[in-house]
Structure 1
Amino acid sequence: MIDKKSPMPLYFQIEEAIKQKIEKGEWITGTMISSEREFAENYEVSRMTVRQAINNLVNDGYLTRQKGKGTFVSAKKIEQKLLGLTSFTEDMRSRGYRPASKLISFQTISANQRLAKALEIPENQKIYEIKRVRLANDIPMAFETTFVPAQLLYLQESHIKEGSLYSEVENAGFKIDYATQSLEASIARDAESEILEITKGAPVLLIERQTFLTNGMPLELVHSVYRGDRYKFMIDMKR
């Protein structure tokens, strides 16, 4: 129960009570929680207080709303440690998930000034633009747009559909060396929310990665939108 004399806000106490049930395994993934009205009656608080607690837990990824059905306990977030350079496919397999990709579009375009600079090629040179939804156990995790210099290797749509881009690159005799990556928080726009099956305005992680080969040439520039309710990145730090 909650303590109305505590300096802790009531909505925060309700959040913590729900979190404990989830973290202790009392409420497993897929459990439908009580309605706002039932929570309000149980805790003797206003529905607005309950709504704030539920909204915060949805934003933090503990709960998910299904329109017309109710609010449910979310699946545990996938954790990725920022220690080594791996492909999405390799990372999901190492965690016991079944990776897959849904190809949205594959085309050859002319590099604009920004892309040409990032890929260290002349402006207007041909590059591959690959848009994919990355899935784990059939759940959309990320919407990814990849740019690769067409002069580097020959790619077909089947190569992208059937396997990892990194595998194709390494099979062509290239060695991948390192990448620089940036992360920032954002919210899902219309197209992203539809593709990732989340509500518009839901929290997402924006990631941009520039990957280099051992000969110093840029291999790719990747823009990714990761679901904030399904994915989190971890890093170990030593002093």
Structure 2
Amino acid sequence: MIDKNSPLPIYTQIEDGIRSQIENGELKPHDAIPSEREYATQFQISRMTVRQAITNLVNEGLLYREKGRGTFVSEQKIEQQLVGLTSFTEDMKARGFTPSSRLLHFEIIPATAKIASQLSIQVHHPVYEITRIRLADGIPMAIETVYMSANLIKGVTEAIIQQSLYNYVEQQSELKIGHATQTLEAIVATENETEHLQVAKGSPILLIQRYTYLEDGTPLEVVRSAYRADRYKFTVSINRT
């Protein structure tokens, strides 16, 4: 793992070695890594050098520390490209996970002025208000609240919500989803999000707000999704213009 004649700093070599062990499966999620003292003794280097490498990997999210117990391998994050308009169900299946949802709330409510404006409908027109926990292989990944016009998309039931709303819109309602705009920001989890996402109090989460439109420009939905920052990351390809 260490070549003291290499131009690469020793702490970087340690980082690369641990990262490689994680990527090839030699170190699995929640496995303990050797202590700073053990690394220092094995490679005849200072504990400060080892600490720098491990701290960098903790900051990167590959490792986590537990006071009094040691340092462990984190769960690998699910990566989603911010290219193309897909549903959570489609994303998880494409990555080999089994997607599921736990319905927290489903109700038809009169549109507030804000929701009516976002969906281009009249105030007090009926809208679906749907809140779900989105899971991958049974692990909570996000808590999602959707608002959708009940006059536009008719017949939504709890059974349909447990599957894929996009599938219902396109195959059963025979409407074509066109595009969406969305914003992403980091915020601190609320008490409700902490409970349902099973994260520690004060944990950072990734908040995405999406506005989805049909091909003819009709607003389809307004979505607020709070993703676990320790299990999810987003990537985007950018071309120079």
Alpha-carbon distance in structure 2 between the residues aligned to 1:114 and 1:37? 58
TM-score, length-scaled by structure 2: 0.80
Contact 2:36 2:47 in 1 (8 A): no
Q: Distance in 2 between matches of 1:33 and 1:97?
A: 27
Query: What does 1:163-174 correspond to in 2, within 5 Å?
Result: 163-170=163-170, 171-174=172-175
Q: Which secondary structure state, in structure 2, belongs to the residue aligned with residue 158 of structure 1? A: helix
Cα separation, 2, equivalents of 1:202 and 1:177: 34
Do the aligned partners of residues 219 and 68 (structure 1) sit closer, same or farther apart at CA in structure 2, a change above 3 Å counting? farther
In structure 1, distance between residues paired with 2:106 and 2:65: 33
The yes-or-no answer on 1:22 pairing with 2:22 is yes
Distance 1:66 1:101 in 2: 30
Partner of 1:111: 111
Instruction: Name the count of aligned residue pairs.
Output: 231
Distance 2:41 2:208 in 1: 43
Match of 1:144 in 2: 144
2:151 counterpart letter in structure 1: Q
Aligned-pair CA distance for 1:20: 5.4
Q: Which whole-Å CA distance do the structure 1 matches of 2:201 and 2:53 have between them?
A: 20
Q: Which residue of 2 aligns with 1:156?
A: 157
When structure 1 is superposed on structure 2, of 22-31 and 90-99 the one drifting more is 22-31
Identity of aligned residues (%): 50
Which residue pairs with 2:234 in the alignment? 233
> Residue by residue, what CA displacement relative to the aligned partner does 1:70-124 show, whole Å, maximum 9, x if unpaired?
6531222111112211111011111111111111111112222221111111122
Amino acid in the other structure paired with 1:235: V
The letter of the residue matching 1:140 is P
Structure 2 residue ranges without an equivalent (≥5): none
User: In structure 2, the residue corresponding to 1:101 is in which secondary structure?
Assistant: strand
The one-letter amino acid paired with 1:77 is: K
Shift of the alpha carbon at 1:29?
2.2
Q: Secondary structure at the match of 1:169?
A: helix
Note the alpha carbon deviations across 1:150-203, whole angstroms, 9 max, x for none: 111221112112x10011111111111111111111222221121111112222
Between 1:19-28 and 1:109-118, the stretch displaced more is 19-28
User: Contact conserved, 2:37 with 2:47, CA < 8 A, in 1?
Assistant: no
Q: In the alignment, is residue 120 of structure 1 matched against residue 125 of structure 2?
A: no
Displacement of 1:33 in angstroms is: 3.3
Q: CA deviation at 1:30?
A: 2.8
C-alpha distance in 1 between matches for 2:119 and 2:182: 14
Q: Per-residue displacement from partner, 1:16-46 (whole Å, max 9, x unpaired)?
A: 7754553464422231235688789997658
Separation in 2, partners of 1:174, 1:211: 13
